[in-house]
Chain A
Amino acid sequence: MLNYIIKRLAIAVPTLLVLIIISFLLMHAAPGGPFTSERAVPPEVLANLEAKYGLNEPLYKQIATYVYNVVFHFDFGPSFVYKDRTVNEIIAQGFPITLKYGAIAFVLAVLIGVTLGVFAAIYHNSWLDYLAVGVSIGAQVLPNFVMAPILVLIFTLWLGWLPGGGWQGGQWQFLVMPVIALATSYMASIARITRSSMLEVLNSNHIRTATAKGLPTHTVILRHALKPAMLPVISYLGPTFVSMITGSVVIDMYFSTGGIGLWFVNSALNRDYSVMMGITILIGVLTISFNLLVDLLYAWIDPRIRY
């Protein structure tokens, strides 16, 4: 097991390096730059700007300097567009925000989704099943860019219960709508995956044996069915968790949370190279880590899997 982990971590290093190089090249290949603006900057001023940010160096040199600073100084450089701030500052400020609402939304989505899915499977083809399937399909067809304005219309404009946006340190009033808007469609997917996987497990031999030897239904479900039924759910949860905690551009945009989801998209549109690289690397590291975690969880859940 330990060997396996070390091996996976060793592969992660070249993976990240390739990610950095490809992102860097793609970004620089896009037309326009951080200083392209409506007020065309005169050539001599542009030269001064490029010199200041090292953009006048050849690309390979820029990449090397960048990797060196990241690895040895943990310095992701200054933002080219938000000039008062460094990339480290932007991520340190924005990531805790998306982490907070993303993690809460994740927990909610998993709890409700799994519960819905399990009940739908146990009471297969009953009204409860139809209700659960109905709810999850309803939630699935309401993507967050539809959910967000609807929530604001109801809770802010009509009822006046919740503020229409902002963060204010993440007080609960500011969390409710982002969490609901983000969790809904994930919850629906989790419910559907759980239901179908649970149905399959409930029809398998070992469950039939457990039921035949007279175990009570809740023991059969909780002790024998739930764990194997979770395998496909967990493989879905790994990448889902990462994309939820690194924020959603829609949530950040509608609710003005200040999270990094919007920073990521804006940095691409603004050609804010350093911010875009910083967030790309953050997402890369998280994705690699959680994929590893998911694989380890597999081994724990399914005794047949051995590394």
Chain B
Amino acid sequence: MKTNLLLSAALALALAMPAGAQTTEINGETLAEEQVFIYRILDDIKSFDPQINTDVSGSEIMRDLFEGLMNDAPDGSQVPGAATEYTLSDDKTVYTFTLRDAQWSNGEPVTAGDFVYAWRRLADPAFASEYSWYMELMGVQNAAAVIAGDMPTDQLGVRAVDDKTFEVTLDKPLPYFPSMLTHASTFPVPEAVVEELGSDWTKPGNLVGNGAYVLTEYSPGERVVRERNPLYWDDENTIIERTVTLVINDENQALTRYLAGELHKTEVPAGQYPRLSRELPDEAYSFPRSCSYIYWFNQNENGPEALKDLRVRQALSYAINRQVIVENVLQGGQSESYNFTHHATAGFEMPEIDYANWTQAERDARAQELLAEAGYGPDNPLSVTINYNTDEAHERIAIAISQFWKQTLGVETQLANVEWKVHLENLQNGEYEIARYAWCGDYNEASTYLDLMTSYSDHNVSGWSDTEYDGLMAESKTMENPSANYTAAEKILAANMPFAPIYQYTGVYMMKPELRGWPVENLLQNWYSRDLYMVASE
């Protein structure tokens, strides 16, 4: 089986990308003379090393400085990156990638050895990457044993057949494996440079990448600057000369600086989208983003008795008026949620979930019945605690939900907020009753959500498990089209209500009208500076 990716890539490029750096016009629009893109991030970059970085904002920079085997196209599909094509063995476990003739920013060729080095590095227990589990998630042969230190790193299922051929062996078939390759932790690093300079290799001037840009300035807590890499294989189609990341901790301050013209893109602070989209309709954007907001119900042994009763969990979930939360609390175009997987996930078919189609009055009535059946009422009132990490938006949602529960069900709710790290610790130790959580997809496929609820997942902190669910998810791994299993899995979740889905995210941004090429259709918001350009303002 051979997939020629070049053809589809060429097509995608022709459709989505400008025709050449020398052009002064694209789609009838004149290019701006200065091609500089400036955007805001919340916190400083934790690392420029692809195998150490764990942050979304760090990954944005990684995608400019390095290039993995595959890239995301603006529509979120995968197109060739450092690899031009791949073949898959008949048993669907061996991927063989052909690398393109590309250079590192120091002029050395990018080889299969660099990929082998980077992937072993990610799994190496001595290197201790916080994302080493991603290697396991991708199902690379022996990843688990290597990470645990039971096998040497050279036993990992990766191999350089020759300088231009990189081979990956998986434990078992994984249909969405190629879509996982745009993740920054899989990007290659130049072995010679890393070995020579040690941890200093990521400093500006030292950092050698194979991406469309090179790191030229890093002022911690202030800014990161990257400039066009003339050695990049597709440099002639790159337009943005320089991308500047500004660290601005306060989102209102970022908005002020955006309005003063210092930035081309920033986040819209919670609750301000309606006003901004009215005042600046050409600049305020809201589009789906792959994250799901939920309330865990603790069903662990140390959790409250009441929440072990399905009827109570259902009653609490039904009584949440999601429409009010989305339209009156969040006000940023988010969507109401009755399932786990983000509705815009590639290939995901939304299952028929009963209570999603009821009116809120019907849900409330059913909730009251269920809670009464479970033995709670005016004589025996239910009392619960909502835990959330300190944040204005989480607080407003918690207040709204406590009101729904109070008014509809007569449930007494205490609100308990703690700082982020304490919240995480409480979740992981099962020390909560009901807790706010959000999960963002690592790749654009439903299993990035649904795997979380298996009994063997490290992230399922609810204490709920279901053998049928586990079976469906295990089986889905080897299926050509696992859609049916995902639908069935979502139905099990809706019927068992291990958590209450609340809403699904949108990216809510301010973007200057001169900025073009933003991948609004990419659910993971994986963007690349080389896809962007600035047009001259009228």
Contact B252 A149 (CB under 8 A): yes
Q: Which of B48, B49, B202, B420 has a CB less than 8 Å from the CB of A269?
A: B420
Contact A165 B257 (CB under 8 A): yes
Chain A residues, CB < 8 A from B246: 165-166, 256
Chain B residues, CB < 8 A from A254: 249-250, 253
Pick out which of these stretches binds chain A: B347-355, B421-429, B473-481.
B421-429
1/0 per residue A151-171: CB within 8 Å of B?
A: 011001100100111111000
Contact A81 B46 (CB under 8 A): yes
Contact A156 B260 (CB under 8 A): yes
- Answer yes or no: A102 CB below 8 A from chain B CBs: no
Chain A residues, CB < 8 A from B426: 31
User: Which one of B128, B426, B428 has the highest number of Cβ atoms from chain A below 10 Å of its Cβ?
Assistant: B128
- Answer yes or no: A257 CB below 8 A from chain B CBs: yes
- In the assembled complex, the CB of B125 is this many whole angstroms from the nearest CB of chain A, namely 4
Contact B259 A40 (CB under 8 A): no
Contact A39 B54 (CB under 8 A): yes
In the assembled complex, the Cα of A205 lies from the Cα of B47 at a distance in Å of: 65
Contact A253 B133 (CB under 8 A): no
In the assembled complex, the Cα of A148 lies from the Cα of B248 at a distance in Å of: 14
In the assembled complex, the Cα of A166 lies from the Cα of B224 at a distance in Å of: 11
1/0 per residue A22-47: CB within 8 Å of B?
A: 00000000111101111111101100
- In the assembled complex, the CB of B462 is this many whole angstroms from the nearest CB of chain A, namely 13
Contact A266 B43 (CB under 8 A): yes
1/0 per residue B249-270: CB within 8 Å of A?
A: 1101100110110100000000
- Answer yes or no: B538 CB below 8 A from chain A CBs: no
- Answer yes or no: B105 CB below 8 A from chain A CBs: no
B200 — nearest CB in chain A belongs to which residue?
Answer: A84
Contact B428 A258 (CB under 8 A): no
In the assembled complex, the Cα of A48 lies from the Cα of B147 at a distance in Å of: 8
In the assembled complex, the Cα of A41 lies from the Cα of B133 at a distance in Å of: 8
In the assembled complex, the Cα of A39 lies from the Cα of B129 at a distance in Å of: 13
- Whether A253 touches B249, Cβ cut-off 8 Å, given contacts A37-B54, A44-B148, A164-B260, is yes
Q: Which of B128, B199, B259 has a CB less than 8 Å from the CB of A84?
A: B199
Contact B222 A257 (CB under 8 A): yes
- In the assembled complex, the CB of A250 is this many whole angstroms from the nearest CB of chain B, namely 9
- Answer yes or no: A129 CB below 8 A from chain B CBs: no
- Answer yes or no: B458 CB below 8 A from chain A CBs: yes
Chain A residues, CB < 8 A from B47: 82-84
Contact B260 A94 (CB under 8 A): no
- Whether A256 touches B46, Cβ cut-off 8 Å, given contacts A48-B128, A164-B256, is no
- Answer yes or no: B471 CB below 8 A from chain A CBs: no
Q: Which of A32, A93, A259, A266 has a CB less than 8 Å from the CB of B424?
A: A32
Contact A31 B422 (CB under 8 A): yes
Contact A38 B221 (CB under 8 A): no
Interface hits, B35-61 → A, CB 8 Å: 43-44, 46-49, 52, 54
Contact A164 B253 (CB under 8 A): yes
Interface hits, B79-111 → A, CB 8 Å: none
Residues on B lying within 8 angstroms of A by beta carbon are 43-44, 46-49, 52, 54, 125-126, 128-133, 136, 147-149, 199, 202-203, 219-223, 246-250, 252-253, 256-257, 259-260, 262, 419-422, 424-426, 428, 458-459, 461
20 A/B residue pairs, CB under 8 Å, sorted by A: A31-B421, A31-B422, A31-B425, A31-B426, A36-B421, A39-B459, A40-B428, A40-B459, A83-B199, A84-B46, A84-B48, A149-B253, A164-B253, A166-B223, A168-B219, A253-B250, A254-B249, A256-B247, A259-B221, A269-B421
Closest CB pairs A-B (n = 6): A32-B421, A258-B221, A164-B257, A48-B128, A258-B222, A48-B125
Other A-B contacts than A82-B47, A168-B219, A256-B222, 13 sampled, CB-CB below 8 A, are A37-B130, A40-B458, A41-B458, A49-B128, A49-B130, A82-B220, A83-B46, A83-B199, A156-B262, A165-B262, A258-B219, A258-B220, A266-B44
